[in-house]
Amino acid sequence: MRAIFSRLKRSLSRFFSRVRFAIAGEVSQYFVGCDLGKKVDYSAVALVAKRAKVAKLTFIKRFPLETPYASVIGFIKILSVRFNPEQILVDQTGVGEYVVEDMKSAGLPNVEGLMLTMQTKEEILGYLKQQMQNCVEQCGNQKCNHPRLFQIPYDNEVIAEINLEKFELTKDGHIKFSHPEGTHDDRLWGVALAVYASRESEAPAFISIRKR
Ligand SMILES: [Zn+2]
């Protein structure tokens, strides 16, 4: 009887070590996007998990107005310890480099600050749209039923912000982004930055946005 138990224990432990091995081969990579708000804007932090080319919004937090940057940094630090993100991409437009410097000195690894200009906005939102439209099979049919490369599993507020963003073609052929007065786009930018951080560096950013 004891022999049977010990055999069973051995085979179970072999089984679990194989399971652990299989899971280890398919771990998600995590990416953080952070939009820092000023007085009238919210700060938002998004976490995206990516596994086998498919990225999913795992988590989004919007902070109350006038939350000190130190609290936002503290929160990202907690996220960072838990998920060990590959990159933390922060919009430093208007707040200056010092917030990103503070993040680095708070011990956050892989922090990168970004200035949102007309051109970088176009690239980042273009990448988000592309990942939301294209399917994992890359079959080319935008109406197919394949899963999309970026998925927002639950958050209706994020989807609403994405739909509110207006795209306007300028005379010089660029796309200008704006959102209606009284609305915010902080969550959109948190998500867009996290998704942009998750892009494969070898894949050229391909932009396909149509004027609407
Ligand atoms: Zn497809």
Structure tokens belonging to residue 84 = 């060990």
Q: pLDDT tens digit string along 116-146?
A: 988 999 999 999 989 998 999 989 888 899 9
Residue 3, pLDDT score: 67
Distance 198 CA to ligand 1 centre (A): 21
DSSP for 58-76 reads EEEEEPPTT--HHHHHHHH
3-state helix, strand, coil in the chain (%, to 5): 40, 20, 40
Residue 160, pLDDT score: 79
Q: Can you tell me which residue has the tokens 């998704």?
A: 195
Q: Determine the CATH number of domain 2-197.
A: 3.30.420.240
Note if the pTM is more than 0.85: no
- Residue of higher predicted confidence among 173 and 64: 64
Q: How confident is the model at residue 189 (pLDDT cuts 50, 70, 90)?
A: very high
Q: Are strands 54-62 and 44-51 parallel, antiparallel or unpaired?
A: antiparallel
Structure tokens belonging to residue 205 = 């950013």
Q: pLDDT tens digit string along 12-52?
A: 555 555 444 444 446 799 999 999 987 778 999 999 999 98
Distance 44 CA to ligand 1 centre (A): 31
- How far apart are the C-alpha atoms of 30 and 51, rounded to whole Å? 9
Distance 134 CA to ligand 1 centre (A): 7
Distance 147 CA to ligand 1 centre (A): 7
All residues with CB under 5 Å from ion ligand 1: 135, 137, 139, 144, 146
Instruction: Give mean pLDDT, residues 189-196.
Output: 96
Distance 132 CA to ligand 1 centre (A): 12
